[in-house]
């Protein structure tokens, strides 16, 4: 099966396995992760093999809410669920094992260190989704699903209060998102991450103007 046919089959799998309730981890997210993985892989000289394609599309087939008690196991659960899918699509046991490792190692909270080129590429590609304009949209989508307030009404940029991203969506920019570029593993991915982080800072500056507040130093 060539890469295009495999991609079409994987898109069908993701569509069928998605329950349609998670706007931040849907088919469009998988499509973007694959596009970003392809860009990073080409920049790093990594082969665009079925392993990377499958890992990109199947990395979130088990998606748990951010506040779920088993959230840190979601990547491992996705890797397990991806195994039979890849076997049915004709991947070899070695390819399946490599893709499963990449899926397990992509998670921010899972704690599995990426031990291969495709695992490093996938992790960077997925983390790009948390940055830039799409990162802003996804942050507020997830926070809305968790019934979190957009920002503190009197101190939106936490100048005189502790940051609390379990209560305020905007605080998540400072607590996690704008720190992500330092965690990227490939030079290509880090360059893209830094560019996207600057877009987020421009958004924060525009938001500060609308809120009649000094911009944050995040």
Q: What pLDDT tens digit does each residue of the chain (218 aa) get?
A: 798 999 999 999 999 887 666 776 789 999 999 999 999 999 999 988 999 999 999 998 887 666 565 666 788 899 999 999 999 999 999 999 999 999 999 987 667 899 999 999 999 999 999 999 999 999 999 999 889 999 999 999 999 999 999 999 999 999 999 999 999 999 999 999 999 999 999 999 999 999 999 999 99
Calpha distance 163→179 (Å, rounded): 14
Beta carbons of 68 and 142 less than 8 angstroms apart: no
Q: How far apart are CA 132 and CA 199, in angstroms?
A: 5
- How many other CB atoms are found less than 10 A from the CB of residue 27? 17
Pick the CATH number of 132-210 from 2.20.25.190, 3.40.50.1820, 1.10.3210.50, 1.20.1560.10: 1.10.3210.50
What is the CA angle 144-109-193, rounded to 5?
Answer: 75
Q: Confirm if 123 and 106 have CB atoms less than 8 A apart.
A: yes
Give the class (CATH, top level) of 3-116. mainly alpha
> Exposed, middle or buried: residue 97 (CB in 10 Å: 0-12, 13-18, 19+)?
middle
Give the H/E segment covering residue 118.
helix 117-128
Contact criterion met (CB below 8 Å) for 41 and 134: no
Residue 134 makes CB contacts below 8 A (sequence gap 6+) with 32
Whole-angstrom distance, CA of residue 218 vs CA of residue 202: 11
Q: Rounded to an integer, what distance in angstroms lies between the CA atom of residue 207 and that of residue 218? A: 13
CB 1 within 8 A of CB 53: no
Helix 187-210 and helix 132-145: axis angle, to 10°? 70
C-alpha triplet 14, 15, 20: angle, nearest 5°: 110
| CA dihedral sign, ordered 18, 23, 24, 27 | positive
Q: Do domains 3-116 and 132-210 have the same CATH topology?
A: no
Q: So what's the pLDDT on residue 108?
A: 72
Half-sphere exposure of 137 (CA within 13 A, CB side): 11
Count the residues in the chain.
Answer: 218
| Terminal C-alpha separation, the chain | 47
Q: Where are the domains of the chain?
A: 3-116, 132-210
pTM above 0.85, yes or no: yes
């Amino acid at each position: 099966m060539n890469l295009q046919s495999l991609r079409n089959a994987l898109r069908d799998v993701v569509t069928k396995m998605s329950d349609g309730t998670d706007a931040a981890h849907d088919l469009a997210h998988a499509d973007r992760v694959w596009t970003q993985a392809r860009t990073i892989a080409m920049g790093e000289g990594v082969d665009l093999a079925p392993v990377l394609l499958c890992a990109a599309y199947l990395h979130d087939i088990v998606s748990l809410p951010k506040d779920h008690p088993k959230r840190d196991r979601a990547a491992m659960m996705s890797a397990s669920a991806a195994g039979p899918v890849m076997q049915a699509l004709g991947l070899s046991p070695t390819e399946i094992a490599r893709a499963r490792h990449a899926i397990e190692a992509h998670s921010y909270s899972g704690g599995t260190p990426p031990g291969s080129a495709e695992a490093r590429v996938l992790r960077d590609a997925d983390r790009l989704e948390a940055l830039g304009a799409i990162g802003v949209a996804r942050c507020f989508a997830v926070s809305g699903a968790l019934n979190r307030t957009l920002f503190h009404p009197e101190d939106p940029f936490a100048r005189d209060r502790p940051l609390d991203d379990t209560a305020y969506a905007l605080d998540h920019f400072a607590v996690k998102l704008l720190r992500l570029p330092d965690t990227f593993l490939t030079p290509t991915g880090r360059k893209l991450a830094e560019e996207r982080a600057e877009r987020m800072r421009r958004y924060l500056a525009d938001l500060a103007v609308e809120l009649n507040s000094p911009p944050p130093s995040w």
